[in-house]
Amino acid sequence: MKDPRTDQGGRGAAAPADGPIGMGMQGARRILRIAAFLSSVLFLLLPSCAPRKTATVRPDEERPGRAFSFAVVSDTHTGATAHTGKKVFARIIEQVNEKKPDFLVHCGDWIIAPTPDKLGEATADTFMHLLSLLDPEIAFYPVLGNHEGDYEDYAYARSFFPVLGESGWYSFDHGGARFFVVENNSDAPDSDLPGYRSCLPNGGINTPGSAQRAWLASVLRSRPPDTVWTFGFGHRSYYGAEQYAGRKNIASARRGEGSFCRLIEEAGVDVFFNGDQHCYTRTTPIRDGEAAEGVENATVYLTVGGGGGRINRGRNVSLEFPVLEGLPRGAYVTGTKSKHFFVHCTVRDRLFHADVIDTSGALIDSFSIRK
């Protein structure tokens, strides 16, 4: 790269002290001022000449009350050739680019396993390649899923995204809303099931008194006074309706003193997004394990695991969705386990709206929350 302080591309030869050849210092400075002025004019007239943002994670933006949008996807399972995760995620990236949200959140299971896929491609490399197709103006926020735990207890997965830090949980503010990301795989009561055993203890969001729980309580207490909306993201589900192969909801965290769900509900978290179950499930507003339509400080739970992993799973695939065992009466609104999809959310002042869109562009569900 040419060094502007030399005339030999960084070899160290000093430029002439008098500036451009045949010109005194005052003339040289005058020319430089004119050039700088013309450059600024061209920059304003031709915004496409400005460098594009290339950072994967965009810095927080503090613009309370402005309209913005974000997208959510989960369980892309890239690297599983038989599961079509690559094709589905590539299509969803195209759709997200068309919507041009401010950012995209992935609720975990970006990849399928630590080994190469059937084509011999490293699964994480495949995911990062597909993610590179995301418009660089769209920020990306990751959540750790149980499949990321297969890679050196999350250390490998965390190395791709500095925002995950050493813990895998973090928060940010955007457009007058607060967002938080938790790691809720490793201390679930059924974390000894196949597929979860590699998720070693990591702060314990489902465990009262844990380090991650104390962190989240602080995040929720420290919201600015003008915060209107609060959104949470994790991987494991609390109110999903697929219940495939023993992967059940973390029902023990739904209610009671010290439960995770009571914490976020009492704090007024508006929507909690999760994946893990390869389906879409929307609940009514929930408070302490019960449907609570119209009740202040209740949370809508969305299971959004339709990003590319295998769908129509389980013994009852021919039966009408959902398998409702264990869901509180009146909690379930709608869902599907036969579509791949993503969620596009818009926030405008005191109105939140979500569209659930499948890979054909068809609308699966649409709902709004008004404050």
Q: What confidence tens digit (pLDDT) does each residue in 130-178 have? A: 999 999 999 999 999 988 876 666 777 888 899 999 889 999 999 999 9
Among 32-41, 225-234, 351-360, which stretch is predicted with the lowest mean pLDDT? 32-41
Phi, psi (deg, nearest 5) at residue 369: -125, 130
pTM score, whole prediction: 0.79
Neighbours of 216 (CB within 10 A): 24
Spell out the long-range contacts of 290-299 with Cβ–Cβ below 8 A and sequence spacing 24 or more: 290/255, 290/328, 290/330, 290/331, 291/328, 291/329, 291/330, 291/331, 296/268, 297/265, 297/266, 297/267, 297/268, 298/265, 299/261, 299/264, 299/265, 299/269, 299/270, 299/271, 299/272
pLDDT, position 246? 58
Whole-number Å distance between alpha carbons of 272 and 292? 15
Q: What is the dihedral of CA 53, 58, 60, 63, to 10 degrees?
A: 40
Task: Tell me the three state secondary structure of residue 97.
Answer: helix
Q: Give the chain's domains with CATH numbers.
A: 69-370 (3.60.21.10)
Spell out the long-range contacts of 290-295 with Cβ–Cβ below 8 A and sequence spacing 24 or more: 290/255, 290/328, 290/330, 290/331, 291/328, 291/329, 291/330, 291/331
Q: pLDDT digits over 269-284, tens only?
A: 999 999 998 999 999 9
pLDDT of 259 higher than 80: yes
